[in-house]
């Protein structure tokens, strides 16, 4: 058995093409916006959200739309107004992709219930043959010696059965077709525990991230998913402090947003 910890890797984040944005802005007379925003570092997601918001009202500067006589010049104020006034649709433009590694099927079953604003690619246990089983134990379970010892023995038996089946089905024999291996591998996974560590590529936009960070770190949520979403929350607070800075993390580790259901 491989003793593992759930891991979160941010593998993709928005990247803006400021030259194209400038071309557009020249056409509507809004180039001054580019002088006000920061373009270094990890500001692209926040800039994209602001870009989409200002696009709607031509609020790059006062007067471009005669109905707009004053504007919020600070990005902090602008984005806070987006959150507080629940204009969250502009958050949907900024999409982030995470590699969620060594997360269990317990986790993935719950994670895929979030449908809106997500994209999912899950490790296929129809194709990927199991041999040693990866498993995460919470610290409290490891500290219970009797429990831990019995659990390890059980997992060891399941591993032995996986190996036995692979040999019994002759999966590595010459001439085995891929279809045969796939069918047997799919059968074999039925004897893997739901706690088996596996993986998922998960993409979500900022609106979805705000909702899932709140619901999946809530005190009533499952232990593993709370750990993963605490990590995602920390990453997002670093990536987009102006769009995730309103959360308070309470003593129980729940992320409570200042602005809910944006
Ligand atoms: C602590 C906890 C315990 C849970 N326990 C259970 C359980 O016992 N059994 C169980 O089956 N599930 C359970 N769930 C899963 C839960 O019911 C949801 O399916 C899951 O959290 C997905 O969230 P969501 O419905 O907000 O969907 P998302 O896809 O994340 O949607 C985001 C938001 O979009 C809107 N939306 C999405 N789809 C629709 C739609 N079709 N129509 C209208 N509006 C929509 C809603 O406002 C929704 O909140 C639990 C979740 C949590 C956090």
pLDDT at 17: 95
- Mutation test of ligand 1: which of 215, 225, 226, 257 has the most ligand atoms closer than 8 Å to its C-beta? 215
How far apart are the CA of 254 and the centre of ligand 1, in A?
18
Average pLDDT estimate for 214-243:
98
Whether 79 contacts 243, CB under 8 Å: yes
The structure tokens listed for 242 are 């102006």
pLDDT at 173: 96
Handedness of CA 83, 85, 88, 90 (dihedral sign): negative
**Shortest-distance atom of ligand 1 to CA 218:** 1
Q: Helix, strand, or coil here: 257?
A: coil
How far apart are the CA of 212 and the centre of ligand 1, in A?
9
* Residues paired with 256 in a beta bridge: 248
Residues within 6 Å of ligand 1 by CB: 113-116, 211, 215-216, 218, 220-221
Q: Could you report the per-residue pLDDT of 165-202, keeping only the tens digit for each?
A: 999 999 999 999 999 999 999 999 999 999 999 999 99
How far apart are the CA of 168 and the centre of ligand 1, in A?
42
**Shortest-distance atom of ligand 1 to CA 116:** 29
Has residue 5 got a pLDDT over 80? Answer: yes
pLDDT at 93: 98
**Phi/psi at 32 (nearest 5 deg)?**
-60, -25
Catalytically active residues, by annotation: 216
Contacts 24+ apart (CB under 8 A), 209-215: 209/96, 209/236, 209/244, 210/88, 210/91, 210/243, 210/244, 210/257, 210/262, 211/114, 211/261, 212/114, 213/244, 213/247, 213/255, 213/257, 214/247, 214/255, 214/256, 214/257, 214/260
How far apart are the CA of 43 and the centre of ligand 1, in A?
30
Cα gap 126→192, rounded to integer Å: 12
pLDDT at 261: 84
pLDDT at 24: 97
**Shortest-distance atom of ligand 1 to CA 220:** 1
Q: For residue 76, what are the CA distances in angstroms to 36, 57, 68, 249, 258? A: 12, 18, 19, 21, 15
Q: Could you report the per-residue pLDDT of 87-122, keeping only the tens digit for each?
A: 999 999 999 999 999 999 999 999 999 999 999 999
Question: Residue with structure tokens 């936009």?
Answer: 205
* Residues paired with 249 in a beta bridge: 255
If pLDDT is split at 50, 70 and 90, which confidence band does 42 have?
confident
- Please give the model's pTM, rounded to 2 decimal places: 0.95
pLDDT at 195: 97
Whether 89 contacts 207, CB under 8 Å: yes
pLDDT at 172: 95
């Amino acid at each position: 058995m491989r003793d593992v910890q759930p891991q979160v890797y941010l593998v993709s984040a928005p990247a803006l093409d400021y030259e194209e944005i400038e071309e557009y802005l020249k056409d509507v007379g809004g180039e001054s916006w580019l002088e006000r925003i920061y373009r270094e570092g990890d500001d692209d997601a926040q800039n994209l959200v602001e870009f989409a918001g200002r696009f709607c009202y031509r609020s790059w500067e006062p007067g471009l739309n005669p109905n707009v006589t004053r504007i919020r010049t600070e990005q902090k104020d602008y984005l806070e107004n987006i959150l507080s006034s629940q204009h969250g649709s502009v958050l949907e433009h900024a999409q982030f992709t995470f590699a969620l590694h060594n997360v269990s099927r317990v986790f993935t079953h719950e994670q895929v219930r979030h449908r809106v604003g997500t994209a999912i690619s899950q490790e296929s246990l129809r194709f990927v043959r199991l041999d040693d089983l990866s498993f995460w134990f919470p610290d409290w379970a490891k500290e219970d010696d009797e429990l831990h010892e019995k659990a390890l023995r059980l997992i060891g038996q399941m591993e032995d059965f996986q190996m036995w089946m692979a040999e019994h089905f002759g999966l590595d024999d010459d001439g085995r077709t891929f279809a045969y291996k796939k069918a047997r591998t799919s059968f074999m996974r039925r004897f893997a525990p739901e706690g088996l560590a596996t993986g998922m590529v998960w993409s979500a936009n900022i609106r979805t991230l705000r909702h899932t960070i709140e619901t999946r770190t809530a005190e009533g949520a499952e232990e593993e998913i709370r750990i993963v979403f605490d990590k995602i929350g920390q990453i997002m607070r670093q990536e987009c402090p102006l769009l995730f800075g309103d959360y308070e993390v309470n003593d129980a580790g729940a992320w409570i947003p200042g602005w809910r259901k944006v």
